[in-house]
Chains A and B, each alone.
Chain A
Amino acid sequence: MTVIIVIDALNRSEYPRIMADMHRLRARVFEGRLGWDVRVVNGEERDRFDQLDPAHVVSINEHGEVVGCMRLLQTTGPHMLVDVFASLLDGEPPLRSAQLWEATRFCVDTERLSHGRGPNSVSSVTSEVMIGAFEYAMEAGVTDAVAVIDPIMNRVLKRSGNAPYDYLGSAKQMGKVVAMAALMDCSEERVQRIRDYAGIHHDVFLPDEAALEFESELAA
Chain B
Amino acid sequence: MDLIDLSAHSPDDATRGMFLDQLCQKLELDYASYAAISPVTGTVQGYANYPDDWKRFYTKSKFHLIDPTLALSARSIAPVDWKRFSSHEGFDKVFGPARDFGLFSQGLTVPVRGPFGDCGLLSVTRECVEGDWAKLKRKIVGDLQTAAVHFHDAVMQDDSVARVMRLPRVSMREKEILQWVAAGKSQQDIGDILGISHRTVEVHLRSVREKLGALTTPQAVGRAIRLGYIQPE
Interface residues of A (CB under 8 A from B): 8-10, 52-55, 72-78, 82, 89, 92-101, 136, 139-144, 165-166, 183, 185
Contact = CB atoms under 8 A, between A and B. Distances in A.
17 contacts: A8-B76, A10-B75, A10-B76, A76-B112, A76-B210, A77-B117, A92-B172, A96-B207, A97-B206, A98-B145, A100-B207, A139-B138, A139-B141, A140-B78, A141-B79, A165-B199, A183-B199
Interface of B: 72, 75-80, 84, 110, 112-115, 117, 119, 138, 141-146, 148-149, 169-173, 196-197, 199-200, 203-204, 206-207, 210-211
A99 B142 contact: yes
Nearest to A101: B77
A74 B149 CA distance: 11
Contacts of B197: 165-166
Given A92-B171, A96-B210, A77 B76 contact: no
Contacts of B143: 141
A95 B75 contact: no
Given A78-B113, A98-B210, A141-B145, A93 B77 contact: no
Contacts of A142: 78, 145
Given A93-B170, A99-B206, 14 more contacts: A9-B76, A55-B77, A76-B115, A78-B115, A93-B169, A95-B203, A97-B206, A98-B146, A139-B138, A141-B145, A142-B78, A165-B199, A166-B200, A185-B199
A74 B142 contact: no
Contacts, number: 110
Contacts of A144: 199, 203, 206
A-B CB proximity, top 10 nearest: A77-B113, A141-B141, A9-B75, A93-B169, A140-B78, A141-B142, A95-B207, A98-B149, A98-B145, A92-B171
Contacts of B149: 76, 97-98
Contacts of A97: 149, 203, 206-207, 210
Nearest to B199: A165
Contacts of A99: 142, 145-146, 206
B136 to A, nearest CB: 12
B17 to A, nearest CB: 22
Contacts of A52: 113
A99 B141 CA distance: 10
A101 B115 CA distance: 14
A77 B203 contact: no
B170 A10 contact: no
Contact of A10 (B80, B172, B200, B207): B80
B77 A73 contact: yes
Contacts of A185: 199
A162 to B, nearest CB: 15
**Which interface residue of B75, B78, B169, B197 has the most chain A CB atoms within 10 A?**
B78
B78 A93 contact: no
Contacts of B72: 10
Contact of A141 (B114, B144, B170): B144
Given A10-B72, A55-B78, A96 B199 contact: no
A163 to B, nearest CB: 11
Contacts of B138: 139
B77 A72 contact: yes
A54 B206 CA distance: 22
B112 A165 contact: no
Nearest to B207: A95
Nearest to B211: A96
B101 to A, nearest CB: 27
A124 B40 CA distance: 45
A92 B199 contact: no
B206 A92 contact: no
Nearest to A167: B200
A166 B78 contact: no
A10 B84 contact: yes
Contacts of B110: 141
A78 B114 CA distance: 7
A183 B197 CA distance: 11
A100 B170 contact: no
A98 B72 CA distance: 19
